[in-house]
């Protein structure tokens, strides 16, 4: 049991690759929280994908015991938050559970767009901030420049910034001292009725749903009958404990403490992040201000390459959904691709992570259709339809107007690449809102349609800036524009999985680019194949894939029969990776590649 004055709760704000997880590892190691032999790189990133990509997807937490230079014992609770824009909501809810943040900036790189987005969330949550300048062991480290950027771009005092090398351990002690002395202890009243925040939850194969909680007032212990104030559901606390970072059972948790409970909760969906947990018998008077639920913004279809694996896919998606309430799905059937699921994600990274996990952990090869956003389609009779899939677009004759989601995009870029970035944003129908300089770096803010960004904007941005730009965005709302559904016809048959929503002014260009791409992606057949882009009944672009002229093997004698037969068998297996439209076989990669824009 620790008194409030000796508890510090904090998170770490950093851009991807700026060393957040390594710093967390080092803090844990320097305090002997984990035995040396159990130490592995990026301790808190538990999933393979997290380790591999060097990103954090789920919020993780660890309790660190620290004896400060003043000889007193402190409990430090670190919540390691996701750094990526897709998981901005996870960041925001974790921030509410702690009182301060370490602001980690790579001293060789300076402030990046993601640092900005996350630091503003920390400021919104009234955090005390401790600037940490990381990677001072590298020759390119420039402390003055990094500190200046923190002051210029973020607008906070960087005079007390701590130089750190998470790699060598230099500055870690100073960081721990700063946490103790500069961050405020939590407030709370142990005698008041129980009030706890549901910070996050995850599914554990053995324990069921594990709920991450922050106690505000009162005390929670094993056996307590608790109530979720928003859902009204009641449970018995079966286990209560803290993360060190392994789960360690404790007697109880009091004000200011962060830990976990299990209570026979079946799936993550039954818990509402941001909900207030209290005692059923003696509830607190007022719930914590509720958090908004996370809403998927990017949609795509996931189909098994081998249609016989549909049930396996359903199973995989059900299991993943147990642990990820932000991911939505419903069954979808496509004339082209058979049965699959239309899935909603928080963003593109979220999409890729889920897709990778299905392919890797469940061994199901997937066809992913083009990502799309939700359009608001207003019909002539005044109804508003949420369009998740361009294939479901109603007849234009019944449509009054269409609105699309917009974002505010912040891009930080060295000024030598600024021209290319402006051109890219302009090409994607962006409206410039802000352009400022900090030293030799420019910060541009654009109002952009989300649908121009979901697909390959980030890839393009990386490529035109040789990887030097950083990018972040937030949704701003819906706006009407001149949008149309563009269909693709292959051999005169519409291919539903290739239809997209486009801006009318850009339709010809997109249509031309798509039919040209498809001409390269579809193999030659025994007949010529027209490939067309059309809006309604009007063809706006057309290419013809000429017929295969000759493919016969020149020599085939007694010694070739086995080889030729095996080749045919291989061709048969390869055909499984194609989808048949009428008489035309379209390779699965075409469904994504056709939509990539080169410019």
Partner 1 sequence: MRSDWQNGGFGIYVHWPFCEAKCPYCDFNSHVAREIDHPRWLRAYLKEIEAYGAALPGRVVSSVFFGGGTPSLMQPEVVAAVIEKIRETWPIANDLEVTLEANPGSVEAGRFRSYREGGVSRVSMGVQALNNADLRALGRLHSVEEARAAFETARHAFDRVSFDLIYARQRQTPESWRQELSEAVNMVVDHLSLYQLTIEQGTAFGDRYNAGRLKGIPEDDDAAQMYEITQEITQKAGYDAYEVSNHARPGSECRHNMVYWRYGDYVGIGPGAHGRISIDGSRFATEALKQPNAWLEATERSTGEKLREALTAEDQSTEMLLMGLRLSEGVSISRFEALAGSPLDQERITELDELGVLGVSGDKLMATQKGRFVLNSVLAKLLGG
Query: Which segments of 80-209 does DSSP mark as H helices, in order?
Result: 88-95, 113-124, 143-149, 172-182
Question: Which of 229, 200, 475 is CA-nearest to residue 325?
Answer: 200
Of the two residues 151 and 493, which places its CB atom closer to partner 1 in the complex? 493
Are 444 and 413 within 8 A, CB to CB?
yes
Of the two residues 396 and 548, which places its CB atom closer to partner 1 in the complex? 548
Residue count (the chain): 599
Find the shortest distance in angstroms from Cβ 308 to partner 1.
Answer: 12
Find the shortest distance in angstroms from Cβ 525 to partner 1.
Answer: 7
Tell me the C-alpha distance between 285 and 368, whole Å: 48
Of the two residues 384 and 548, which places its CB atom closer to partner 1 in the complex? 548
- Name the DSSP class of 397: G
Find the shortest distance in angstroms from Cβ 338 to partner 1.
Answer: 15
Find the shortest distance in angstroms from Cβ 559 to partner 1.
Answer: 4
- Name the DSSP class of 274: T
Of the two residues 37 and 550, which places its CB atom closer to partner 1 in the complex? 550
Within 10 angstroms of residue 411's Cβ, the number of other Cβ atoms is 24
61 - beta bridge partners?
79
Rg (CA), the chain: 27
Of the two residues 397 and 573, which places its CB atom closer to partner 1 in the complex? 573
Of the two residues 167 and 577, which places its CB atom closer to partner 1 in the complex? 577
Of the two residues 437 and 527, which places its CB atom closer to partner 1 in the complex? 527
Query: Which segments of 404-490 does DSSP mark as H helices, in order?
Result: 418-427, 457-464
Find the shortest distance in angstroms from Cβ 306 to partner 1.
Answer: 11
Tell me the C-alpha distance between 423 and 425, whole Å: 5
H or E element in which residue 444 lies: strand 441-449
Of the two residues 538 and 572, which places its CB atom closer to partner 1 in the complex? 572
Tell me the C-alpha distance between 90 and 94, whole Å: 6
Q: Where are the beta strands (DSSP E) in 16-67?
A: 60-67
Find the shortest distance in angstroms from Cβ 583 to partner 1.
Answer: 7
Q: Which two tokens stand for residue 501?
A: 């929503």
Give Cα 316 distance to the centre of its chain: 19
Judge if the upstream peptide bond of residue 428 is cis by omega within 30 degrees of 0.
no
Find the shortest distance in angstroms from Cβ 565 to partner 1.
Answer: 5
Torsion of CA 359, 364, 370, 373, to 10 degrees: -70
Are 415 and 444 within 8 A, CB to CB?
no
Are 532 and 512 within 8 A, CB to CB?
no
Find the shortest distance in angstroms from Cβ 521 to partner 1.
Answer: 18
Find the shortest distance in angstroms from Cβ 524 to partner 1.
Answer: 9
Tell me the C-alpha distance between 312 and 155, whole Å: 51
Question: Which of 381, 382, 370, 445 is CA-nearest to residue 408?
Answer: 445
Are 323 and 361 within 8 A, CB to CB?
no
Find the shortest distance in angstroms from Cβ 563 to partner 1.
Answer: 9
Find the shortest distance in angstroms from Cβ 498 to partner 1.
Answer: 23
Of the two residues 191 and 562, which places its CB atom closer to partner 1 in the complex? 562
Query: Which segments of 241-347 does DSSP mark as H helices, in order?
Result: 310-323
Of the two residues 259 and 304, which places its CB atom closer to partner 1 in the complex? 304
Find the shortest distance in angstroms from Cβ 523 to partner 1.
Answer: 9
What is the residue whose two structure tokens read 């020759």?
Answer: 139
Of the two residues 36 and 551, which places its CB atom closer to partner 1 in the complex? 551
Of the two residues 87 and 303, which places its CB atom closer to partner 1 in the complex? 303
Please report, as ranges, the residues that interact with partner 1 according to CB under 8 A.
525-527, 548-559, 561-562, 564-565, 568, 571-573, 575-576, 583
């Amino acid at each position: 049991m620790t008194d409030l004055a000796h508890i510090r709760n904090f998170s770490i704000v950093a851009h991807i690759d700026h060393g957040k997880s390594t710093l967390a590892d080092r803090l844990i190691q320097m305090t002997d929280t984990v035995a040396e032999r159990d130490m592995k790189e990026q301790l808190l990133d538990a999933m393979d994908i997290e380790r591999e990509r060097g990103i954090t997807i789920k919020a993780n937490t660890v309790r660190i015991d620290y004896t400060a230079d003043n000889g007193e014992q402190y409990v430090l609770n670190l919540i390691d938050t996701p750094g990526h824009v897709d998981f901005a909501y996870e960041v925001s809810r974790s921030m509410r559970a702690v009182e301060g943040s370490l602001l980690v900036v790579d001293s060789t790189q300076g402030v990046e767009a993601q640092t900005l987005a996350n630091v503003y969330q920390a400021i919104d949550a009234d955090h005390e901030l401790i600037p940490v300048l990381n990677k001072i062991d590298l020759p390119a480290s420039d402390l003055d420049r990094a500190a200046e950027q923190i002051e210029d771009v973020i607008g906070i005092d960087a005079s007390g910034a701590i130089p750190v090398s998470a790699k060598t351990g230099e500055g870690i002690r100073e960081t721990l001292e700063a946490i103790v002395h500069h961050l405020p202890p939590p407030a709370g009243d142990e005698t008041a009725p129980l009030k706890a925040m549901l910070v996050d939850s995850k599914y554990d194969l053995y324990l069921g749903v594990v709920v991450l909680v922050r106690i505000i007032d009162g005390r929670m212990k094993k056996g307590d009958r608790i109530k979720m104030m928003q859902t009204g559901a009641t449970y018995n606390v079966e286990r209560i404990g803290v993360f060190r970072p392994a789960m360690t059972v404790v007697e109880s948790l009091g004000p200011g403490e962060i830990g976990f409970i299990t209570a026979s909760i079946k799936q993550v969906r039954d818990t509402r992040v941001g909900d207030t947990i209290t005692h059923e018998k003696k509830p607190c008077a007022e719930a914590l201000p509720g958090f908004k639920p996370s809403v998927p913004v990017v949609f795509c279809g996931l189909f098994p390459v081998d249609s016989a694996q549909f049930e396996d896919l359903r199973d995989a998606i059900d299991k993943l959904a147990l642990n990820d309430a932000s991911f939505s799905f419903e069954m979808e059937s496509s004339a082209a691709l058979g049965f699959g699921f239309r899935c909603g994600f928080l963003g593109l990274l979220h999409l890729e992570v889920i897709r990778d996990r299905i392919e890797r952990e469940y061994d199901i090869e997937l066809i992913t259709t083009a990502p799309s956003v939700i359009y608001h389609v207003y019909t002539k009779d005044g109804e508003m339809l949420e369009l998740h899939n361009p294939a479901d677009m109603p007849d234009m004759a019944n449509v009054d107007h269409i609105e699309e989601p917009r974002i505010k995009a912040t891009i930080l870029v060295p000024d030598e690449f600024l021209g290319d970035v402006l051109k890219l944003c302009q090409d994607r129908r962006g409206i410039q809102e802000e352009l400022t300089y900090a030293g030799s770096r420019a910060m541009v803010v654009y109002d952009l349609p989300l649908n121009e960004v979901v697909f390959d904007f980030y890839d393009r941005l990386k490529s035109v800036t040789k990887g030097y730009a950083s990018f972040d965005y937030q949704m701003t709302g819906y706006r009407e524009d001149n949008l149309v559904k563009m269909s693709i016809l292959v051999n005169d048959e519409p291919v539903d999985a290739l239809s997209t929503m486009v801006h009318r002014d850009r339709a010809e260009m997109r249509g031309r680019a798509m039919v040209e791409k498809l001409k390269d992606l579809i193999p030659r057949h025994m007949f010529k194949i027209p490939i067309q882009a059309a809006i309604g009944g009007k063809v706006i672009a057309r290419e013809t894939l000429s017929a295969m002229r000759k493919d016969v093997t020149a020599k085939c004698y007694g010694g070739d029969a086995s080889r030729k037969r095996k080749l045919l068998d291989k061709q048969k297996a390869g055909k499984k990776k194609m989808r048949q439209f009428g008489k035309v076989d379209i390779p699965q990669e075409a469904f994504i590649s056709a939509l990539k824009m080169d410019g």
